[in-house]
């Protein structure tokens, strides 16, 4: 399979760099490393996804020079076979095309501790802080993006962002205010997500997170999600060799 570094305009905007992304779905060899180096000359920063974490690829990727692991990404899937709890908890709202919500922006700034961008010393914390904020901001007014959120009074204190791809519901982001963590709000949001799937005849679900995000993994496994695959994420800075 041909290796090809693709430009990533969204990352370009966030980091103000010429960024790229490379997906590796094969066992590498020395010729592949030369190909990657040649394609990387026009980029400042490249995200490399070693799909299924091929072990021998770690050695070859180390030959690039300044490429190192920043994340172990885990993909979970779930197929719903039973009727879920059709939860009617008050103050839980589901909406697509949601307008701009400052509370969601604040949650996205404050609660995300598990991010590969914080593991990279060449990415300033100020830039890492705005990644999830920008992610949420771009989802507002988008009819293809759905928010399930918990509202108390006039404030949104927790949310789950998802979208539908073909016959699968994919969780994008999930966050709960620090003062409410551990009180079951995440379970309520996930219950609402499964109920939405049932009501719309969708039985397949998917969620991705970092291996370090133990609370999220524990929550989704409790609902029957199972690990499908793991992938190793590298950050490669060609010009910093």
Domain range list for the chain: 6-73+232-240, 82-202
Q: Which residues contact 102 (CB under 8 A, 6 or more apart)?
A: none
130-171 pLDDT, tens digit per residue, is 899 999 999 999 999 999 999 999 999 999 999 999 999 999
102-129 pLDDT, tens digit per residue, is 999 999 987 777 789 989 999 998 888 8
State yes or no: pLDDT of 241 exceeds 60. no
Q: Which CATH class is domain 6-73+232-240?
A: alpha beta
- Of 3.40.630.30, 3.40.47.10, 3.50.50.60, 3.40.50.620, the CATH number of 82-202 is 3.40.630.30
The mean pLDDT of 8-25, rounded to a whole number, is 94
Residues facing residue 119 across a β-bridge: none
Predicted model pTM:
0.91
DSSP state string for 204-241? EEEEEEETT-HHHHHHHHHTT-EEEEEEEEEEE-GGG-
pLDDT for res 89 = 77
pLDDT for res 34 = 95
Q: Are strands 145-152 and 6-7 parallel, antiparallel or unpaired?
A: unpaired
37-92 pLDDT, tens digit per residue, is 999 999 999 999 999 888 999 999 999 989 999 999 999 999 999 888 776 778 99
184-236 pLDDT, tens digit per residue, is 999 999 999 999 999 999 999 999 999 989 999 999 999 999 999 999 999 99
With cut-offs at 50, 70 and 90, classify the pLDDT of residue 1. Answer: low
DSSP state string for 145-201? EEEEEEEETTEEEEEEEEEEETTEEEEEEEEE-GGGTTSSHHHHHHHHHHHHHHHTT
- Higher-scoring residue by pLDDT: 241, 98: 98
Mean of all residue pLDDT scores within the chain = 93
């Amino acid at each position: 399979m041909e290796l090809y570094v693709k430009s990533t305009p969204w990352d370009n905007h966030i980091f103000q760099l010429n960024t790229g992304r490379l997906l590796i779905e094969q066992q590498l060899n020395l010729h592949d490393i030369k190909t990657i180096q040649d394609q990387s000359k026009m980029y400042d920063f490249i995200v490399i996804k070693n799909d299924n974490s091929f072990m021998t690829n770690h050695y070859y990727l180390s030959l690039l020079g300044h490429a190192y692991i920043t994340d172990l990404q885990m993909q979970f899937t779930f197929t719903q076979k039973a009727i879920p709890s059709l939860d009617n908890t008050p103050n839980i709202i589901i909406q697509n095309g949601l307008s701009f919500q400052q509370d969601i922006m604040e949650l996205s700034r404050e609660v995300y501790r598990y991010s590969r961008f914080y593991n990279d010393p060449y990415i300033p914390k100020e830039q890492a802080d705005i990644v999830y904020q920008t992610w949420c901001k771009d989802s507002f007014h988008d009819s293809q993006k759905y928010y399930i959120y918990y509202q108390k009074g006039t404030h949104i204190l927790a949310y789950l962002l998802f979208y539908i791809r073909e016959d699968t519901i994919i969780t994008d982001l999930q966050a709960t205010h620090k003062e409410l963590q551990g009180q079951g709000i995440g379970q309520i949001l996930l219950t609402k997500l499964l109920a939405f799937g049932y009501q719309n005849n969708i039985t397949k679900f998917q969620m991705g997170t970092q291996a370090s995000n133990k609370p999220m993994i524990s929550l989704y496994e409790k609902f029957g999600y199972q690990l499908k695959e793991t992938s190793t994420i590298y950050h490669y800075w060609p010009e910093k060799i």
